């Protein structure tokens, strides 16, 4: 009953709109399908994002679907995560700060029997969110025109997934079947003014995306020297076609000296109906568990250089790679002393992202630390903190310094337990 009450609180928080957020967003989300979101379990948010080789009995790991078979029999798991983000954007002339708060994931899982685990949930795949303002002017003799351009984007893609995993002896294999959907909306507002004439042009493109997607995962786990548990894992997803329909609307308003506005619709039609693609991607990693320690390393690759958007190769996408590592320490899981049961975590990651602009591949480097807090209600609270930087000031690009607070709660319940009364 207490766990059900906590679930209601989580679902209520998921619809909160934070009025304090500025929502400037990242200019790098203009590229491709937007900024890619990390899908990490609560523990991983404090350990650099490691996931491929993590196999925990009471945590859901949607990154590697093979992990579902580790869930104990007659056990139901529910977890949800939120994140609060501060980002400092800087170019060679300006600096501005943005705040954001958003739901990160909702996941559930349970054991069907001792060989079979199942999970379902919702995770973000990408996000488009930017707001860019630029000004320019043209002078020719006595004539001068001034341009103001505002570029905005919103939307992103979401995954609804259903996963299954099966275990035989020390080997586990799983699959996530996902439905991907969402809009990618990009707009440009251009304002031209001179001494006796001004015009306003509004241009918006809206791409509706939907597709089915598969991710395969494997894990092998065994004891080492009867003191440690070693788990090696990996996942793979093939290149996937996304069904995309793009509509475009362009209007122009002319304001002559007489102040009589003349508005004309230039385009209002479907301009593309075809395929966008997600790349072939894979990752591998391992973890080593003892009574007090967890150590893990992950490596991930995505071949964005091979994708096609509407029969064309995007010019700003390239192959991405990432390496992450993390460590956790717990003094005594079974202790009656609260502080001895806390999980202390630290990690980091280094990423060459899929974005290439002005001949520079954008890098993302961050460090993580966190804490896992068990509660008397049977839930675990996970707090993760991340500080990092993305981008560079070189070649007229933007540098982002970000600071993230991740909050994740894991709930555990026992099913089909026969009660006995004496």
The 10s digit of each residue's pLDDT in 49-62 is: 999 999 999 999 99
Q: What is the largest CA-CA distance in the chain?
A: 100
Q: Is the pLDDT of residue 6 over 60?
A: no
Paired tokens of 36 = 């890619």
| % helix, strand, coil for the chain, step of 5 | 10, 65, 25
In a domain, 350, yes or no: yes
What domain range is 300 assigned to?
A: 2-414
**67, 165 Cβ separation under 8 angstroms:** yes
Q: Is the pLDDT of residue 257 over 50?
A: yes
In a domain, 207, yes or no: yes
For residues 376 and 331, what is the distance between their CA atoms, to the nearest angstrom?
18
* Confidence category of residue 398, pLDDT binned at 50, 70, 90: very high
Higher pLDDT, 53 or 419: 53
In a domain, 154, yes or no: yes
Which pLDDT value is given to residue 148?
A: 86
* Confidence category of residue 264, pLDDT binned at 50, 70, 90: confident
Using alpha carbons, list the distances in angstroms from residue 134 to 68, 93, 146, 245, 407: 49, 12, 11, 29, 36
Which pLDDT value is given to residue 1?
A: 42
Q: Is the pLDDT of residue 394 over 70?
A: yes
Neighbour-count burial of 308, counting CB atoms closer than 10 A to its CB (0-12 exposed, 13-18 middle, 19+ buried): middle
Residue 341 has, within 13 A of its CA and on its CB side, a CA count of 13
Q: Comparing 73-87, 149-163, 275-289, 405-419, which segment has the lowest mean pLDDT?
A: 405-419
The tens digit of pLDDT for each residue in 160-209 reads 999 999 999 999 999 999 999 999 999 999 888 766 667 888 899 999 99
Mean pLDDT for 132-157 is 78
How many domains are there within the chain? Answer: 1
In a domain, 156, yes or no: yes
Torsion angle, alpha carbons of 311, 317, 318, 321, to 10? -120
Which pLDDT value is given to residue 102?
A: 85
pTM above 0.85, yes or no: yes
In a domain, 421, yes or no: no
Strand 320-330 vs strand 343-357: parallel, antiparallel, or unpaired? antiparallel
Which pLDDT value is given to residue 418?
A: 60
Which pLDDT value is given to residue 91?
A: 85
Identify the three-state secondary structure at position 228: strand
Q: Residue with structure tokens 């937007």? A: 34
Q: Is the pLDDT of residue 146 over 80?
A: no
**77, 108 Cβ separation under 8 angstroms:** yes
In a domain, 329, yes or no: yes
Which pLDDT value is given to residue 420?
A: 56
**370, 47 Cβ separation under 8 angstroms:** yes
Neighbours of 118 (CB within 10 A): 18
Residue 210 is part of a domain; what is its CATH number? 2.40.160.60
In a domain, 422, yes or no: no
Neighbour-count burial of 151, counting CB atoms closer than 10 A to its CB (0-12 exposed, 13-18 middle, 19+ buried): middle
* Confidence category of residue 290, pLDDT binned at 50, 70, 90: very high
The tens digit of pLDDT for each residue in 314-342 reads 989 999 999 999 999 999 988 889 999 99
* Confidence category of residue 226, pLDDT binned at 50, 70, 90: confident
The tens digit of pLDDT for each residue in 39-50 reads 877 889 999 999
Which pLDDT value is given to residue 419?
A: 57
For residues 166 and 168, what is the distance between their CA atoms, to the nearest angstrom?
7
In a domain, 373, yes or no: yes
């Amino acid at each position: 009953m207490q766990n059900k009450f906590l679930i209601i609180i989580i679902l209520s928080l998921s619809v909160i709109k934070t009025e304090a957020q500025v929502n400037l967003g990242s200019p790098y989300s203009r590229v491709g399908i937007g900024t890619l979101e990390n899908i990490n379990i609560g523990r991983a948010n404090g350990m650099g994002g490691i996931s491929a080789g993590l196999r925990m009995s009471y945590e859901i790991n949607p990154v590697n679907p093979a992990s579902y078979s580790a869930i104990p029999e007659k056990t139901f798991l529910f977890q949800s995560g939120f994140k609060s983000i501060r980002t400092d954007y800087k170019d060679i002339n300006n600096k501005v700060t943005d705040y954001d708060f958003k739901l990160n994931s909702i996941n559930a899982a349970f054991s069907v029997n001792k060989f079979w685990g199942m999970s379902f949930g919702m995770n973000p795949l990408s996000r488009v969110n930017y707001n860019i303002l630029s000004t320019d002017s043209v002078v020719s003799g006595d004539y001068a025109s001034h341009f103001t351009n505002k570029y905005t984007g919103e939307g992103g893609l979401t995954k609804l997934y259903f996963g299954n995993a099966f275990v035989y002896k020390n080997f586990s294999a799983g699959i996530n079947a996902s439905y991907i959907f969402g809009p990618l909306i990009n707009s440009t507002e251009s304002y031209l003014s001179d001494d006796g004439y001004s015009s306003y042009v509004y241009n918006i493109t809206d791409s509706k995306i939907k597709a089915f997607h598969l991710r395969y995962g494997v894990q092998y786990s065994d004891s080492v020297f009867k003191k440690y548990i070693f788990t090696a894992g990996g996942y793979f997803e093939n290149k996937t076609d996304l069904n995309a329909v793009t509509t475009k609307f362009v209007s122009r308003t002319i304001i002559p000296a007489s102040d009589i506005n003349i508005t004309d619709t230039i385009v209002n039609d479907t301009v593309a109906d075809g395929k966008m693609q997600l790349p072939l991607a894979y990752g591998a990693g391992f973890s080593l568990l003892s009574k007090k320690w967890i150590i893990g390393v992950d490596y991930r690759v995505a071949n964005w250089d091979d994708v096609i958007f509407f029969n064309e190769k995007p010019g700003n996408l390239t192959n991405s790679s990432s390496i992450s590592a993390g460590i956790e320490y717990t003094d005594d899981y079974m202790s009656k002393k609260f502080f001895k049961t806390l999980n202390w975590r630290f990690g980091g990651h280094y990423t060459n992202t899929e974005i290439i602009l002005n001949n520079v591949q954008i890098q993302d480097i961050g460090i993580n630390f966190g804490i896992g807090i068990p509660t008397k209600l049977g839930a675990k609270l996970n707090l993760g903190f991340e500080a990092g930087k993305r981008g560079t000031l070189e070649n007229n690009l933007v540098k982002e310094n970000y600071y993230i607070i991740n909050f994740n709660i894991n709930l555990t319940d026992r099913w089909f337990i026969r009660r006995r009364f004496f």
